[in-house]
Amino acid sequence: MALFDLTGKVAVVTGGTRGIGMMIARGLLDAGAKVYISSRKAETGKAAVAELSPHGDVISIPADISSETECQRLAAEVGDHERNLHILVNNAGATWGAPLEEFPASAWDKVLALNLKAPFLLTRAFLPMLETAASADDPARVINIGSIDGLRVPDLETYSYSASKAGIHQLTRVLAKQLGPRHITVNAIAPGPFQSKMTAATLEQFGDIIAARSPLGRIGRPDDVAGTAIYLASRAGAYTTGAIIPVDGGIWAAH
Ligand SMILES: NC(=O)c1ccc[n+]([C@@H]2O[C@H](COP(=O)([O-])OP(=O)(O)OC[C@H]3O[C@@H](n4cnc5c(N)ncnc54)[C@H](OP(=O)(O)O)[C@@H]3O)[C@@H](O)[C@H]2O)c1
């Protein structure tokens, strides 16, 4: 079996309908996996399936994963189709920016529910399917999408976002310890700037400055984050767990 081949693997990518989630979904499909994508709107899911289908076997199951019952329903619906889940990518996320004095309590509830609580609840809901897929030689994989804003203090006033990303990095380490003996690896990718709906306004305004500040002199491209996800999901990443991997052109290292 080739080191980076995912033929025969089943993956779930939350927020796989656009942005970084879609970049990762496309990469996993190209590497041979069957991919379930999920986000809130059925219509967006359908459009994403149409865009991704030329790359492989892709199915959309809409769910609002900020609620526990929806996390459980998503796992149950994937379970109606599959016995095994080899790869869970906890990618869906949201941000909120506001000056300290105006920062609403609701922006803590919303951002923490989606960025931090949902990855925990989904990992737990999918555990039986991950364990069925897992073996000592070829563990099942959980890949959490953190952020370099969880490693450094960001420029923008995104209090709950950066705290949620630091939290998901720590949750990654905790779950790696807990799930290693059950043959499941848990790692996080900490992206730097990538083009998406979430970053569109910031990159339009400051994209050139942000790129110039990066040691590699550019923002991220789809292959940059897809490649890291394929590595973590494939035989190449079988011995890596509890790692937080910045994919940021060196921004964090040079910080
Ligand atoms: N882009 C970057 O530069 C960057 C950098 C560091 C980290 N990240 C992280 O990468 C991940 C993806 O971000 P992105 O930039 O690709 O953002 P994005 O373009 O806004 O995509 C977010 C995805 O999550 C889905 N989503 C939002 N709320 C949801 C909910 N309640 N339930 C289910 N799905 C939901 C969205 O679909 P619907 O709205 O249709 O539900 C969409 O598919 C996030 O965790 C983000 O923090 C991004």
- For residue 94, the CA-to-ligand 1 centroid distance in Å is 6
Averaged pLDDT for residues 231-248: 98
pLDDT, one tens digit per residue, over 52-64 is 999 999 999 999 9
Here the CATH number for the domain that contains residue 36 is 3.40.50.720
Q: What does the alpha-carbon distance between residue 99 and residue 156 come to, in Å, rounded to a whole number?
A: 9
Q: Is residue 105 part of a domain?
A: yes
Q: State percent of the chain over pLDDT 90.
A: 99
Averaged pLDDT for residues 36-48: 98
Q: Is residue 150 part of a domain?
A: yes
| pLDDT confidence band for 185 (50 / 70 / 90) | very high
**How many Å from the N-terminal Cα to the C-terminal Cα in the chain?**
39
- Let me know if 161 is a catalytic residue: yes
Domain limits for position 49? 10-254
pLDDT, one tens digit per residue, over 209-237 is 999 999 999 999 999 999 999 999 999 99
Which position has the token pair 């069957």?
Answer: 34
Q: What is the 3-state secondary structure (H, E, C) of 10-55?
A: EEEEECCCCHHHHHHHHHHHHCCCEEEEECCCHHHHHHHHHHHHHH
Q: Is residue 140 part of a domain?
A: yes
Q: Is residue 5 part of a domain?
A: no
pLDDT, one tens digit per residue, over 143-173 is 999 999 999 999 999 999 999 999 999 999 9
Model pLDDT, residue 255: 87
Model pLDDT, residue 1: 58
Q: Is residue 46 part of a domain?
A: yes
Q: Is residue 212 part of a domain?
A: yes
Q: Is residue 59 part of a domain?
A: yes
| pLDDT confidence band for 252 (50 / 70 / 90) | very high
- The total domain count for the chain is 1
pLDDT, one tens digit per residue, over 13-37 is 999 999 999 999 999 999 999 999 9
For the Cβ of 23 lying below 6 angstroms from any atom of ligand 1, the answer is no
Phi, psi torsion values for 96, nearest 5 degrees: -155, 130
For the Cβ of 119 lying below 6 angstroms from any atom of ligand 1, the answer is no
Pairing relation of β-strands 244-247 and 10-14?
Answer: unpaired
pLDDT, one tens digit per residue, over 97-140 is 999 999 999 999 999 999 999 999 999 999 999 999 999 999 99
Q: What does the alpha-carbon distance between residue 150 and residue 80 come to, in Å, rounded to a whole number?
A: 35
Model pLDDT, residue 83: 98
Q: Is residue 3 part of a domain?
A: no
Q: What does the alpha-carbon distance between residue 132 and residue 123 come to, in Å, rounded to a whole number?
A: 14
pLDDT, one tens digit per residue, over 82-107 is 999 999 999 999 999 999 999 999 99
Pocket test for ligand 1, best of 36, 39, 160, 203 (most atoms within 8 A of CB): 39
For the Cβ of 17 lying below 6 angstroms from any atom of ligand 1, the answer is yes
Averaged pLDDT for residues 184-199: 97
Query: Are 214 and 192 in contact, with CB atoms under 8 Å apart?
Result: yes
